[in-house]
């Protein structure tokens, strides 16, 4: 079992670019820089996708490319279930792992815009009283991983339970294991899933609505993505979810084996996991990414706050910045128990590239495939 995390090797230290990203959010894309995806180009991208899947040993994957609100290409390759030889299709769903954090941060920021929370409010008023140090930590510090809380998902007890695909999880079970902060909140960056599990409690207390209900109100329904995303663990979505595969002792193991509740491990999907529990299609994630960074969800000033890097110089509020092939990208990635995910947006070209895979290993397949696909898109003119 692998703890949710963001592979730090891809982070780009970009303090100097903080303000630039916010300005680009409202700038039109250069016509010359927008790739043209005709039939020949689509075949090239599909060939790249197929080759990258084989090279990385990934059972299955979905990818999508958007430009300024338009889905210009999507592709799939391989199998959602290798044993049954069930192919990946456009509607296949994947556990998003930590890409979920980008959605959850957006939900928190929407409540901030509505005046229901303050980003610099201490979390004490929003989370259970048994959690320590809540008078010292703000909502902003949870969002930016500067709270000082350890990652509870690295504790042996939690890991043992995560290895049980049928464990009955509640947010309370997770949060009762939280320890006092171990550094001064706000003083440094330290990635911790605990922060985002706590934000589930913040969202529900501030809004009076369940996490999954709020997700539908603020994201899925307004963007018409109800069929492409789920946070509620609804039975109708389960047959569409790809099986996850993890490399254990040099063998590829189906992480869904033994899962009886809808056939999907309880640690992979559902509103307890506001750090990683959304399932979605490749096109659904791309559409959300495009809408968020394209300025169609948050106000410009709020988006600027989201993008502004914290102490590490890269991570903002549920979003990170990286540099690849001479371009600056904003988004998030994820890595958890059979699923690796990448979705990033280039403000200068209003370009989104999303890759979702159903394999985890030490080489991070989604990152490698995203790199290949981004390079192929760059080569299109």
Residues tagged active-site: 98
Chain centroid offset of residue 243 CA: 18
- Report CA dihedral (62, 214, 99, 326) to the nearest 10 degrees: 90
Chain centroid offset of residue 300 CA: 21
Residue 48 sits at φ, ψ, to 5 deg, of -60, -45
**What gap in Å lies between CA 263 and CA 296, rounded to an integer?**
36
Q: Which distant-in-sequence residues (6+ apart) come within 8 Å of 136 by Cβ?
A: 122, 148, 181, 185
Chain centroid offset of residue 24 CA: 22
Q: 373 and 355 in contact (C-beta within 8 Å)?
A: yes
**What gap in Å lies between CA 118 and CA 20, rounded to an integer?**
25
Q: Which residue has the tokens 């780009």?
A: 12
296 sits in which H/E element: none
Identify which of 351, 355, 353, 315 has the alpha carbon closest to the alpha carbon of residue 334: 355
Q: Which residue has the tokens 């290895």?
A: 163
**What gap in Å lies between CA 63 and CA 256, rounded to an integer?**
22
Query: Distances in Å between the alpha carbon of 226 and those of 48, 215, 287, 328?
Result: 30, 10, 12, 30
The beta strand positions in 15-113, using DSSP E, are 60-67, 70-81, 86-87, 94-95
254 sits in which H/E element: strand 251-254
């Amino acid at each position: 079992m692998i703890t949710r995390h963001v592979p730090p090797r891809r982070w780009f230290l970009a303090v100097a670019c903080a303000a630039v990203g916010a300005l680009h959010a409202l700038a039109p894309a250069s016509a010359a820089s927008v790739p043209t995806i005709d039939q020949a180009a689509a075949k090239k991208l599909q060939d790249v996708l197929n080759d990258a899947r084989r090279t990385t040993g990934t059972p299955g994957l979905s990818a999508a490319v958007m430009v300024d609100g338009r889905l210009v290409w999507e592709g799939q390759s391989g199998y959602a279930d290798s044993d049954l030889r069930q192919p990946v299709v456009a509607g296949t769903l994947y556990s998003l792992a930590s890409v979920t954090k980008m959605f959850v941060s957006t939900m928190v920021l929407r409540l901030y815009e509505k005046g229901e929370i303050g980003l610099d409010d201490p979390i004490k008023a929003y989370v259970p009283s048994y959690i320590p140090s809540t008078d010292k930590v703000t909502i902003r510090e949870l969002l930016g991983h500067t709270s000082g809380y350890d990652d509870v998902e690295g504790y042996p007890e939690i890991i043992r339970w995560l290895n049980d695909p049928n464990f009955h999880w509640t947010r309370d079970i997770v949060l009762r294991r939280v320890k006092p902060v171990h550094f001064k909140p706000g003083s440094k960056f330290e990635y911790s899933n605990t922060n985002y599990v706590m934000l589930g409690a913040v969202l529900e207390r501030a809004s009076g609505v369940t996490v999954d209900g709020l997700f539908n109100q603020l994201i899925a329904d307004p963007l018409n993505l109800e069929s492409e995303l789920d946070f509620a663990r609804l039975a109708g979505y389960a047959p569409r979810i790809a099986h996850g595969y993890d490399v254990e002792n040099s063998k590829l193991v189906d992480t869904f084996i033994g899962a009886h509740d809808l056939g999907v491990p309880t640690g992979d999907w559902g509103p307890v996991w506001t750090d990683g529990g959304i399932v979605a299609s490749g096109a659904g994630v791309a559409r959300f990414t495009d809408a968020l960074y394209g300025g169609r969800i948050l106000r410009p000033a709020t988006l600027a706050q989201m993008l502004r890097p914290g102490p590490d110089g890269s991570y903002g509020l549920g979003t990170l910045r990286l540099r690849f092939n001479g371009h600056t990208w904003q988004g998030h990635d994820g890595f958890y128990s059979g699923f690796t995910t990448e979705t990033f947006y280039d403000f200068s070209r209003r370009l989104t590239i999303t890759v979702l895979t159903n394999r985890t290993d030490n080489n991070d397949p989604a990152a490698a495939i995203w790199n290949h696909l981004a390079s192929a898109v760059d080569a299109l003119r």
